[in-house]
Structure 1
Amino acid sequence: MTTPSLSADTPRGRMYRLEPDGPLMFPSITTVAGMRAKDHLQGWYATMASKRALEMYSWLDRNPARAAAEISRVTRDKWGSQKRIAAAAEEYTRTAADFGTLVHAACELWGRSGSRPSESEIEGLADGMRSAQGAFATEKSPQALQQRVAVRLDGYGAFLDDYQPEFVEIEQTVVNRTVGYAGTTDAIVRIGNTLLSADIKTSKKVRGDYALQGVAVVRAEELVDDDGTLREMPELTGAFIIHLPEAGGYRAVPLRTGDAEFEVFRALRAAWSFEPDECALPEASSSKDLLLSLLRAKGGLDGIA
């Protein structure tokens, strides 16, 4: 997804404002959905770190004449070597996200212009990402990058031919001020007589937790334009994923966006607001002080000094 103009990264995740240069007020949909525990990723982090360590060992095996100097360097800089190994998963994720952003930008350009972006246009998008955020630093072949994007655009074109969506909104920011969140949907489309939120994904698979992002868009209260103009949120029937896998083709995957999914999202929004540091109260000086502090914290002694 391209970077919405009303949002900015913060230490607590991406946040949105409701007008240009206004205060950041609401966490993004992806930030809130990201509050969900991801214990299953711990094993993957370890696997990626071990793969990088083995790659470093293999380099020594392939370059025996330089092995002694490299071993000496790694030994002297143990902390730097540990950081490099530990960063394997993060770097992989960032590289995948950069590629996904490029595909999103190309699909957005297609949606706005009505025609498939040319190779020169895609190259321009990639160059802009390189200069702005240092993307594709490890990409060895610009032509290979073009080919990878072309595979995804072939799939996107097939989806357009098969489903004939009418694009009502593209890269549109939405907000729910009651719950307190904002976000940007890749597109609001009309298929037949039905309005839907559509998000493009280039991930290996369609994850079920994408439904949390989908339901947040469906339950948004207003549209927010880049100049801060608020518009009425159309009634959406639901949300779906346009999945563009590495192997080519596409999948149109509907998401559950009912009350149960929205309650989970609301709970995650409450978790985002939780300030754990405020829960440790000042040290008690006596048993009486301890009990009074606990009662005040529960609201049982309001107004008592």
Structure 2
Amino acid sequence: MTSPALAQQTDFGRMYARKIGELPEVPSITTVIAQEKMDMDGWIGHMAATAVIQDERLGDAVGNSAKLKALARQASSAAAQYRDAAAARGDRVHQYCEQIALRALGRSHQAAQAREALAENGEEAFAGRFDEWWEQYQVQPLAAEVTVWNSTIGYAGTLDLVATIGGRLCLIDYKTRGTDREGRVKPLDPKVIMQLAAGAKAEEMVVDATAGTWEAWKYSQDPMLLGVAIGETEVQTVMANPEVLPAYWSKFWSLRQVWGASQRVRDAGSALHVVGPPASPANESAR
């Protein structure tokens, strides 16, 4: 996950401050969405089992309890290692996409360095497919990696790209995705709609993170909300269905209330107190 200048990791999840160096005030969009817990037990178990099966030392370990335990310990972290590697890859791809937008905006950029970082990790195909998408969709960027704020509900986030495509204002979120068995990019999770809906409800956007300068959100003119799945073989673009946006926004609002309630519970103090047994009748009579 990329780290915008105003974002900080806290005990309450990722949060945003109004100015660099100040304490964070509101949760990030992704932290709010994460209040809906996902059951990952099956995937974690699958990753661990796959790691054991694919380990070249398995044959030698069969029948040896100590060696099998060592393999099991290492395999138990397979899901976390996969997650961390995917997050690092996603950061590199996002960095490249941002630099391409900055270059198109005529601003200082490091597009060549970002592409080289992908090449060093065997990931240059992501850059190639993104370049093709950028050209095919004739993207006209307006702002890249723009941090937004909603004071009414109490959250902030960073939009990957604001652009015009085909004459339409678009709010865009990139997701780096793997490839399925048919060689197609894996589809996006519908939750991306919630993320985009929250971004569209922004009230302010940052101008200068160091100075803490903000201005009114100026990209609210009926934007098209696009999720862009970037893979090694292709890029797939999906649009949020306007008819379902109210439902997804309602769910996001509810999850924000859950986050706030969780903080109030945490700050409320000890929830349970030990209670002793009542006095016995004999003790009452002695009084």
Q: Does the TM-score normalized on the shorter chain lie above 0.5?
A: yes
* Partner SS state of residue 198, structure 2: helix
Count of matched residue positions in the alignment of Structure 1 and Structure 2:
256
Equivalent-residue separation in structure 2 for 1:268 and 1:282 (angstroms): 30
- Equivalent residue, structure 2, for 1:51: 50
Alpha-carbon offset, residue 273 of structure 1: 2.0
Equivalent-residue separation in structure 1 for 2:101 and 2:275 (angstroms): 62
Equivalent-residue separation in structure 1 for 2:98 and 2:81 (angstroms): 25
Alpha-carbon offset, residue 11 of structure 1: 2.5
CA gap of 1:85–1:273, structure 2 versus 1, over 3 A, is farther
CA gap of 1:23–1:83, structure 2 versus 1, over 3 A, is farther
Contact 1:244–1:250 (8 Å) recurs in 2: yes
Post-superposition CA distance 1:119-141 (Å, at most 9, x none)? x5433x56xxxxxxxxxxxxxxx
Alignment equivalent of 2:256, drawn from 263, 266, 269: 269
Alignment equivalent of 2:137, drawn from 163, 172, 178: 163
- Equivalent residue, structure 1, for 2:283: none
Post-superposition CA distance 1:25-82 (Å, at most 9, x none)? 111111111112312x3211111111123234x4142xx4xx59x853665x7xxx65
Contact 1:215–1:256 (8 Å) recurs in 2: no
In the alignment, does 2:161 pair up with 1:177? no
2:54 alignment partner AA = E
Equivalent-residue separation in structure 2 for 1:266 and 1:285 (angstroms): 42
Per the normalisation by structure 2, the TM-score is 0.79
Contact 2:99–2:114 (8 Å) recurs in 1: no
- Equivalent residue, structure 2, for 1:112: 102
Equivalent-residue separation in structure 1 for 2:98 and 2:226 (angstroms): 17
Post-superposition CA distance 1:76-133 (Å, at most 9, x none)? x7xxx65533221111011111111101101111111139933x5433x56xxxxxxx
1:280 alignment partner AA = A
Query: Please, which moves more after superposition, 18-27 or 275-284?
Result: 275-284
Equivalent-residue separation in structure 2 for 1:157 and 1:121 (angstroms): 13
- Structure with higher helix content: 1
Percent identity, aligned pairs only, is 27
Contact 2:174–2:227 (8 Å) recurs in 1: yes
1:213 alignment partner AA = Q
User: Runs of 5+ in structure 1 lacking a partner?
Assistant: 127-141, 288-305
Alpha-carbon offset, residue 17 of structure 1: 0.3
CA gap of 1:82–1:35, structure 2 versus 1, over 3 A, is farther
- Equivalent residue, structure 2, for 1:205: 187
Equivalent-residue separation in structure 2 for 1:219 and 1:34 (angstroms): 18
Equivalent-residue separation in structure 2 for 1:10 and 1:161 (angstroms): 39
Per the normalisation by structure 1, the TM-score is 0.75
Post-superposition CA distance 1:208-267 (Å, at most 9, x none)? 111111101001111023232111112152311121123x22111112462211110011
Query: Please, which moves more after superposition, 43-52 or 187-196?
Result: 187-196
CA RMSD of aligned residues (A): 2.8
